[in-house]
Amino acid sequence: MRRVLARRDMRLYVGGLTLSMFGDTALWLALAVWAKTLTGSSAAAGMVMFFLAAPQLLAPLSGLVVDRVRRRPLLIATNLATALVVLPLLLVHDRGDVWILYAVTLAYGVSFSLLGSAGSALLAALLPADELADANGVLQTAREGLRLVAPLSGAALFSAFGGAAVALLDAATFVVAAGALALMRVTELAPAPSGERRLAALAAGARHLRRTLSLRRLTGASAVALLVIGFSETLTFEVAGAGLGRDAAFVGVLIAVQGVGAVAGAATAATLVRRLGELRLGGIGMVVFAAGTLLLLSGSLPVVLAGKVLFGIGIPWVVVALFTLLQRTTPAPLQGRVYSAVEVVVGTPQTLSIALGAVLVALVDYRLLLVVEAAVVAGAGAWLLTRAWQGVSASH
């Protein structure tokens, strides 16, 4: 990781993005808690996560935009626009204003789609292939490490001053992130016209994903896992309330504990990618995640916290493996569209599972949903491990 952070542009990029992620992490939890506080409903809190994830369905358009323009100016403009997007939250006062929460969250999701695709493409342009795992590990360490402080900070700020204060904090972090990007010295050439028809250009990322066996397998297994992982966005509120007898704000504690495991997972991900390869690390990450999910069935706080640690370890192993493989196997002119194709394949089931989880939690015991989640994720991980082992055997 040291060689990655020795680069001035990477320090600026990581610094600005980390501050922005702090604001993001504080706000999205505050939005969910805000929705439950206004309505008294865990389903309403889960719908916040649904509106955040829903714009991923339009990711192919985001990817096409990213591959048609220089990435750094696009990132600057999007950060500044997002700072403005969160300001309508200052108008939320009672239950009748919950639609503003959803509208802002939806716009926020559109921003995330652009920022994720453009950021991944810029990273691939900044670094040689052998440093991508380290860079993704650094970013994932920062992202998950923020779970140690940002959720609690956001919940505390929300409890003390209301959601408007959290929104203003988040807007400020987007402005700072734009400033850090503006200070970078990276020189980007304007993308050359491809000459493709619009529909063919739009589908180019999906074609590359389909033809790249290792990326297709890891993406497919991740998509299956995410068919149920989205349940956790709502189930976490049930684990805190029904399982542990705590109020909605205690979700911030659970997510912070998850961050402890996530820091450990993210910090070791780059080393494990080099030793195991992306497919095996992704499969192991899913199995570890499933084990942590099963521990959430307990009504014992120490056991639930242990589950959250394992839950946190598994996620960055899968994420770092997936996006390192994506960046490493994708030509520069296709980075944005392949990222977006992967985002659609994994984001669509996640979005559906978030919405389904918000509905099912009102109809089915949350503990049964946790069992289903663990079983599906463990199955996806086991399948991926068998395919990774076959690939190793075939190579010998």
Using one digit for the tens of pLDDT, what is the confidence trace for 19-49? 887 777 777 777 877 888 888 877 777 788 7
Q: Which single residue is written with the structure tokens 């929460």?
A: 101
Q: Is the pLDDT of residue 214 over 90?
A: yes
- Quote the CA–CA distance of 259 and 254 in Å, as a whole number: 9
Q: Of 121-125, 190-194, 313-317, 362-366, which range is least confident?
A: 190-194
- Quote the CA–CA distance of 293 and 186 in Å, as a whole number: 42
Is residue 114 a contact partner of residue 192, using CB atoms and an 8 Å limit? no
* Residue 310 pLDDT: 94
* Residue 136 pLDDT: 87
- Quote the CA–CA distance of 162 and 91 in Å, as a whole number: 12
Q: Assign 213 a pLDDT band (cuts: 50, 70, 90).
A: very high
Counted residue by residue, the chain has a size of 396
- Of 78-87, 131-140, 368-377, give the range with the top mean pLDDT: 368-377
Q: Which two tokens stand for residue 122?
A: 């810029």
* Residue 396 pLDDT: 32
- Quote the CA–CA distance of 183 and 337 in Å, as a whole number: 26
* Residue 192 pLDDT: 64
Superfamily of domain covering 2-183+208-390: MFS general substrate transporter like domains (1.20.1250.20)
* Residue 392 pLDDT: 44
Q: 3-state class of 169 per DSSP? A: helix
- Of 110-114, 140-144, 379-383, give the range with the top mean pLDDT: 379-383
More confident of the two residues 189 and 306: 306
Q: What is the pTM of this model?
A: 0.78
Mean pLDDT of 353-364: 83
Mean pLDDT of 287-312: 92
Q: Assign 394 a pLDDT band (cuts: 50, 70, 90).
A: very low
- Nearest Cα to Cα of residue 34 among 171, 148, 168, 159: 159
- Quote the CA–CA distance of 329 and 338 in Å, as a whole number: 10
CA-to-CA dists, residue 346 to 83, 237, 265, 284, 342, angstroms: 27, 23, 20, 18, 6
Max distance between CA atoms of the chain, in angstroms, equals 64
Give residue limits of the domains in the chain. 2-183+208-390
Q: Is the pLDDT of residue 194 over 70?
A: no
Consecutive H or E run containing 32: helix 8-39
* End-to-end Cα spacing for the chain: 31
* Residue 151 pLDDT: 66
